[in-house]
Amino acid sequence: MTYLVLLEEKMKILSEALAETEVDRTDVEECIRVIGKNERRFEALKALQVKLSLTMSGETAVERKMESEALTILKKLSENTMKLQERIMKERNSSVQSMNDFSNLKKISKSYVKAEQGPVFVDKDFR
């Protein structure tokens, strides 16, 4: 493969990953799905980068322009991914706090309500 073909493939993968991150950030499940899907793309990019480093570049103006565009897309992709991760962490923290609050309420209620009562014996000869 030529350097230019590899660059075009890199641009395609980066563009797909960037488009994928343009989702509704209020839906945490969607954020998780996007990050998981893009992880596979990042693995493909790593393998592609190895191929690019082994391939000789002609350092043409077209190649330099594509590399510059790829860097711009990569920066935007990084920003979007960070926003998705922040949203997921915010939801995680909220869930952990809710679980802790529930646990505390459960402990408090157990301290006031005796759920278990031992057997009661009545003496027959009691007068």
Q: How is residue 66 written in tokens?
A: 């594509």
CB 18 within 8 A of CB 76: yes
Whole-model pTM? 0.74
Q: pLDDT category, 127, cuts 50, 70, 90?
A: low
Query: Which of 15-19, 32-36, 73-77, 119-123 is least confident?
Result: 119-123
* Residue 53 clears pLDDT 90, i.e. is over it: no
Phi-psi region of 41 (alpha: psi -120 to 50; beta: other; left: phi over 0): alpha
pLDDT score at 126: 61
